Amino acid sequence: MNPPESFFRRRSRAQRETPAVSSFVQDASPALWLGGALRNLIMCAPLAWAGVVAGMLFATHVLAFELPGQARAATTANVRVAFTPEDDVAGQMVDAIAHARRQVLVQAFSFTHDQIARALLDAHRRGVEVKLIADREQTEKMDRGQVSGLARGGIPVWLDGDHQSAHNKVIVIDAGTPSAMVITGSFNFTRAAQHKNAENVVFISGNETLAQTYAQNWQRHLAHSQPLNIH
């Protein structure tokens, strides 16, 4: 038995706008909720309904953050997801950076997107602390990269060459404040990621502990990175 087409439309919308899901799970643990859901799922056609499981697991993991070396973090967060090429991920990143008030920490592998670079420069010029760690090899071999331009614009930039690839794609905004946000996913800061590739990005706010953990990881990579000096 195939699920009705309207079900997938509802599920797609729920996966893109998930904040409301936290109120559902506050009254029952994720494990109990998932267990009950799976029992119901077994009574249906398992293969036809396989997509439902993905949505449930997504919701469960959103609500139970296991952070390295720490007890379980607060179990709620506001989460928004986006997928390219359909969604304007770059535009959403630019908007998030425009709302930064204190600090923007960036980890980048490949960085060629001029609008995201401009948003970082604008934030720097209005007094927000903006810092960038980029992959050394990618930065040095890219002819049209934005990293050097950011450094020339006054943003402190470091190159991480301590790994085969410094492959993080992360933006941490205003860590240590109630408005903190983490942006991460497969999306490189490039126009190809926006217009040509199939990528995913998660925007997570409302969880200060999670944002602080990403900020601490940024600092760990800073310790072995080298400053980019523009002459």
Catalytic residues: 167, 169, 174
Contacts (Cβ under 8 Å, ≥6 apart) of 106: 120, 130, 131, 132, 133, 170, 171, 172
User: CA dihedral in degrees (89, 172, 26, 67; nearest 10)?
Assistant: 120
Beta bridge partners of 199: 84
Nearest Cα neighbor of 120 from 103, 135, 134 is 103
Beta bridge partners of 133: 107, 158
Q: What sign for the dihedral angle of Cα 11, 13, 15, 17?
A: negative
